């Protein structure tokens, strides 16, 4: 009874947490730059993602994208799953022990641990690798990505997915103009992805 009564409240919180946004999108080579403006605050946030999915969305599972994020003022590659909902919470829970491997041939690979940031799953380079990641990204003509320890992902011996890259330097420059260093919006207050997972665990083990 308690479980049935609480789940609708969580679903309502998810719906209310999503702000009304006006979006603009443009394609730059193999990348897509999308900027959204919150009509209540006039705050603009931008996402720079590869056009193709690392893992496409399923009927009850959010997709995984190769995205450019800011870390310590540097623009670096990351594998992300944005705006997790109740249906995608299982992916977020299992991904807390997951990892992405990323390589810009002929350079050696990066290992990028995954974690939750607000409502999003982020697999990002370790702090000691951010300088190298920032340097290699704009010059790369292809990228290899392999997910480990996540639902539907392969073993360490599985073939990675490969993407051709084009227009990266221009895409990065446009992203930086649209989203200067430190311009990322803070996470909204209230329940975030980690809080949602904690509530789900309490429901399963009352």
Would you list the domain boundaries of the chain? 2-204
Q: How far apart are CA 42 and CA 1, in angstroms?
A: 42
Q: How confident is the model at residue 58, as a pLDDT?
A: 80
Q: What are phi and psi of 76, to 5 degrees?
A: -130, 160
* Across 45-65, average pLDDT: 89
- pTM to 2 decimal places: 0.76
Strand 44-55 to 64-71 pairing: antiparallel
Mention the CATH class of domain 2-204.
mainly beta
Highest mean pLDDT among 3-7, 89-93, 146-150, 183-187: 146-150
- With tokens 């006006």, the residue in question is 22
Name the average pLDDT for the chain.
79
């Amino acid at each position: 009874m308690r479980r049935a009564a609480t789940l609708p409240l969580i679903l309502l919180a998810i719906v209310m947490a999503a702000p009304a946004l006006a979006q603009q999108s443009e394609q730059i080579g193999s990348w897509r730059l999308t900027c959204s403006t919150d009509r209540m605050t006039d705050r603009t946030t931008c996402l720079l993602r590869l056009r193709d999915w690392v893992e496409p969305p399923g009927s009850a599972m959010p997709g995984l994208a190769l995205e450019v994020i800011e870390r310590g003022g540097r623009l670096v590659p990351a594998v992300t799953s944005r705006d997790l909902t109740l249906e995608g919470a299982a992916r977020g829970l299992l991904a807390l022990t997951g990892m992405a491997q990323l390589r810009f041939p002929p350079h050696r690979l990066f290992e990028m641990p995954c974690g939750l940031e607000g409502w999003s799953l982020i697999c990002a380079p370790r702090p000691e690798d951010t300088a190298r990641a920032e340097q290699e990204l704009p010059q790369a003509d292809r990228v290899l990505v392999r997910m480990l320890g996540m639902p539907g992902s392969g073993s360490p011996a599985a073939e990675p997915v490969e993407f051709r890259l084009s227009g990266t330097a221009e895409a990065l420059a446009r992203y930086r103009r649209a989203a200067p260093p430190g311009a990322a919006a803070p996470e909204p207050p209230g329940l975030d992805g980690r809080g949602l997972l904690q509530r789900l665990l309490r429901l399963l083990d009352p």
